[in-house]
Amino acid sequence: MPSGKGLKQLFADALKVRPEDYDLMTLADEFTQREDLNLYQTVYEIFTTTKAKEHQKVILGDKWRRIYSTNYDDLVEWCYFGVGSAIDSFSFEESKPSRLNAGAIIHLHGCIRNATEKNVLDQLVLNETSYVRQHIERSVWYDEFVRDLKFCTNCFFIGYSLADMHIAALLMKNEHLREKIFFVTRDLNDSIFNKRVQPYGTILPIGAEGFANLCKTLPRPAKNMDPTRLKAFKYLDPQKDKRTLAPPTPIEIMNLVAFGTFSEQRCLSTLPESRYVIARTSTVAEAQRLLGSHKCLLVHSRLGNGKTIFLHILAHKLAEDGYKCYMCKENTEVPNHDLDVLAQVKKAVIFFDSYNTAIDAIPRCSHLGNVKFVVAVRTGVQEVRLHEIQSKLPVLLVRLSINQLEPADRADLKKLLDLSGARVDDLERGIDKSQEIREVVVSLYQNRLIRDKIANELAPLMRMEKARLVVICAHLVKWIGGDLEASFLRAVSGEDPYALRLNNGAVAVDLLRFDDDNVEARSALFSEYLIQNHFETDWITDAVYRLVVEAVRRKRDRNYQKILGSLVRYSALDRALGRDPNRHGALRELYDRLHRDSSVNAEPLFWLQYAIFMMDIDDLDAADGFLLTAYKRAEDSPGFKTYQIDTQALRYVLVRETRDTATSVTRYDTLIERLRRVVPMLVDASHRSHAVHVMKDIEPFVKARGRALSLVQKNEFVAELDQVLVALGRFDIAAQAETASIPVGESVERAKGEIWKG
């Protein structure tokens, strides 16, 4: 079977032209237009396997975690079916299943078995190199490839040629991955190939035949039974380097506060003393007590209150009780072998710093009776997703807020910040008045030394367009609480994020965390500070556009749903651009640009946020049209629930009627119908947060238009408001605190009284 270069030569010969004069796609297009030639039949005969070489059979006879191919042929399927075995086979245009079976093959450029006379040009990627690279990086299967690289033991490239595609289209300059990637070639004489692949892996000049021989003769590695060396779970060892580490320096403490540069091992080695982080003694003790009688602890806090740090402090405490503690890696696939090893551990706790990862991974582990779970989540998320939490997490679940600072925490924080020199005026009094850690951290950004250091470190990166885009995208995703994969970041920016570390050294490391498995911003609170104080409006809106367009293509994945939903939300964008007096003009341009993307245009929530924006800038006619479009898009999206649209549709009619001057409330029937649709949401924990905020618009409507209601309408409206008050009264104390339902209830009560004044 020919390589890409060989196929191009074959097409050119048939067309009687020189191959160097045209690219492969042009030749293929011309091939289809010639009545005397048949592209489908030609490629079918070329790439349909009739016989495999012996070394190919040997290599494919092993049990591989996954097989990826940039070839069009069906060799792998032929070999498996030839020995009576089945294999899951996918082409680039097919959707990913929720769980991939081991041994599946993915054809990144398409497969001949999916091609027909009519679709051959769509099913096989025949375009030029630049297109091929973009095709790979933007494929949903590329994310799976990068995930497989993270969790495999080794990865072998066999028969790979730079003539087919540049190696950088698949791999990133991650030193951790380089250690386990090998290129099987025939010799070492191709200096160009050697130079190109050297940053990505090791060359094995043994040829495919030599590799097949090793597959036959080398002994199989023994299965890992060490509970401290699992693939999906990182062991948190409180004793590692405990005696050898020097005390934290003031700069380390300042970098933790200012940049979120958190050293896990530094934290574990200094506890239980508050020499690097404050020990949160009483809150940790409460968490320890709750976990003693529950299978799962949900630790929640608002943005910037230190969820990640708290998990490590709790892990240190639980290790003293004899637990082996593990941190689940983000976006992980939990292998069966990890579960087998965990089952042998006497007592274990798995920590999840990513809520999305927890929801996916815990159902795989919940049968282990010796394992408990601690899940970190933002306070707002645990309210909005309560139904999901109750259905996906273990029944024996308890929640713990870590938002509040205890007196001992304040004392420890004063000592720690004083030691580091990270001071602002009236620091001690500010800490005494602060209810949460984030209030203290935000105040420290006013420290001249910290503020100037941030500005100076940002400056060189912000002058480089692609590097700037990587940094801004990473901080936007961190700020909204999303989980960022390096493959997604590269697809959005067109830049290898690991190259940022190589090219920009310490500056990049201060701004982003480059783990073996991923690249992400360090601190959500620091991200918010940068977005609101250092990133220009045009930079932010361009990054948002790219993130949203790429996320909508991957929206089947929970994490990309989060990125999509959060970054089109008007309230978030308005807050991000708050310092720009012309932000509404920039947002109008952003929404207009987004609506021209067909995939974004099909999203109901995009049109909902566009409508909310239009209501806020008083373009009510446009808002009405966009709400109708949102409902239409919802109809075209099977399974889509319109709860959020319903609440804003109610808000729209309240606002519209409040500003109307007619002698009667012309939209009264619509108002009652929409109110009745929203009231039941007030007692539904999963939708309450959307419904409660619109209730505050009732009082202004009544004050402005109460006299325009007829007596019958007043009676009916008061009856509906009674239903609102009953629903609000069913909130528990925690829900009242999170959704501010008490002032909303008071507002509705006042509205009832106001109706009869007229």
Dist CA 326 CA 223 (whole Å): 20
Q: What is the mean pLDDT of residues 417-424?
A: 71
Q: Say if residue 195 is in the same domain as residue 291.
A: no
Dist CA 240 CA 78 (whole Å): 50
Is the CA virtual torsion 124, 130, 135, 141 positive or negative?
Answer: positive
What is the edge-to-edge ordering of all strands in the sheet holding 181-184?
155-158, 181-184, 202-204
- Contact assessment for residue 241 and residue 265, using Cβ atoms and an 8 Å cutoff: yes
Q: Say if residue 126 is in the same domain as residue 242.
A: no
In a domain, 689, yes or no: no
- pLDDT exceeds cutoff 70 at 132: no
In a domain, 326, yes or no: yes
Dist CA 24 CA 4 (whole Å): 8
Residue 235, pLDDT score = 94
- Contact assessment for residue 450 and residue 422, using Cβ atoms and an 8 Å cutoff: yes
Select from 646, 636, 648, 576 the least CA-distant residue to 610. Answer: 648
Dist CA 671 CA 657 (whole Å): 9
- pLDDT tens digits along 268-311: 888 888 889 999 999 999 999 999 999 999 999 988 888 999 99
| Tokens 């067109």 sit on residue | 494
- pLDDT exceeds cutoff 50 at 536: yes
- pLDDT exceeds cutoff 50 at 738: no
Dist CA 489 CA 487 (whole Å): 5
- pLDDT exceeds cutoff 70 at 539: yes
If 0-12 CB within 10 Å is exposed, 13-18 middle and 19+ buried, where does residue 498 land? Answer: buried
Q: Cis link prior to 272 (omega < 30° from 0)?
A: yes
If 0-12 CB within 10 Å is exposed, 13-18 middle and 19+ buried, where does residue 87 land? Answer: middle
Q: Say if residue 270 is in the same domain as residue 208.
A: no
Range of the domain at 357: 233-437
Most confidently modeled range among 60-64, 187-191, 241-245: 60-64
- Contact assessment for residue 457 and residue 534, using Cβ atoms and an 8 Å cutoff: no
Q: Is 454 left (phi over 0), alpha (psi -120 to 50) or beta?
A: alpha
* Confidence band of 255 (pLDDT split at 50, 70, 90): confident
Residue 27, pLDDT score = 86
Residue 116 or 696, more confident: 696
Residue 84, pLDDT score = 64
Residue 440, pLDDT score = 82
Dist CA 103 CA 504 (whole Å): 39
In a domain, 614, yes or no: no
Q: Say if residue 250 is in the same domain as residue 205.
A: no
| Tokens 């109110």 sit on residue | 675
Q: What is the mean pLDDT of residues 114-138?
A: 70
Q: Say if residue 268 is in the same domain as residue 374.
A: yes
- pLDDT exceeds cutoff 50 at 247: yes
Q: Looking at 386, 409, 437, which one is the last position of a domain?
A: 437
Select from 638, 719, 649, 639 the least CA-distant residue to 681. Answer: 649
Residue 313, pLDDT score = 94
In a domain, 225, yes or no: no
Residue 127, pLDDT score = 62
- Contact assessment for residue 114 and residue 123, using Cβ atoms and an 8 Å cutoff: yes
Dist CA 558 CA 170 (whole Å): 24
Residue 105, pLDDT score = 93
Pairing of strands 324-328, 233-235: antiparallel
In a domain, 458, yes or no: no
Select from 306, 317, 280, 304 the least CA-distant residue to 408. Answer: 280
Q: What CATH number has the domain bearing residue 396?
A: 3.40.50
- Contact assessment for residue 39 and residue 120, using Cβ atoms and an 8 Å cutoff: yes
Q: Say if residue 171 is in the same domain as residue 319.
A: no
Residue 730, pLDDT score = 75
Residue 377, pLDDT score = 92
Dist CA 51 CA 177 (whole Å): 34
- Contact assessment for residue 331 and residue 309, using Cβ atoms and an 8 Å cutoff: no
- pLDDT exceeds cutoff 70 at 116: yes
Dist CA 110 CA 92 (whole Å): 6
Residue 134, pLDDT score = 61
Residue 693, pLDDT score = 86
Q: Say if residue 199 is in the same domain as residue 237.
A: no
Q: Say if residue 153 is in the same domain as residue 70.
A: yes
Report DSSP letters for 245-260, one per residue.
PPPPPHHHHHHHHHH-
- pLDDT exceeds cutoff 90 at 144: no
Dist CA 150 CA 520 (whole Å): 15
In a domain, 449, yes or no: no
E-only strand ranges, 275-320? 296-301
Q: Say if residue 174 is in the same domain as residue 292.
A: no
The type of residue at 540 is I
Provide the mean pLDDT of the chain: 86
Dist CA 357 CA 228 (whole Å): 20
In a domain, 681, yes or no: no
Q: Looking at 387, 413, 437, which one is the last position of a domain?
A: 437
Nearest-5° Cα angle at 523, 739 to 148: 105
Q: Say if residue 171 is in the same domain as residue 33.
A: yes
Residue 93, pLDDT score = 80
Structure tokens at 114: 């999916």
Residue 166, pLDDT score = 58
Select from 131, 136, 185 the least CA-distant residue to 157. Answer: 185
* Confidence band of 688 (pLDDT split at 50, 70, 90): confident
Percent of the chain with pLDDT over 90: 43
Q: Say if residue 205 is in the same domain as residue 239.
A: no
Q: Looking at 410, 437, 464, which one is the last position of a domain?
A: 437
Q: What is the mean pLDDT of residues 468-496?
A: 90
Residue 485, pLDDT score = 84
| Cβ within 8 Å of residue 709, ≥6 positions away | 665, 668, 717, 755, 758
Structure tokens at 490: 């590269």
Q: What is the mean pLDDT of residues 440-450?
A: 79
Structure tokens at 57: 């059979």
In a domain, 198, yes or no: yes
Q: Say if residue 184 is in the same domain as residue 263.
A: no
Residue 403 or 187, more confident: 403
Residue 614, pLDDT score = 96
Domains: count for the chain? 2
| Tokens 């700069």 sit on residue | 251
- Contact assessment for residue 595 and residue 601, using Cβ atoms and an 8 Å cutoff: yes
- Where is average pLDDT lowest: 149-153, 416-420, 578-582, 601-605? 416-420
Dist CA 711 CA 115 (whole Å): 69
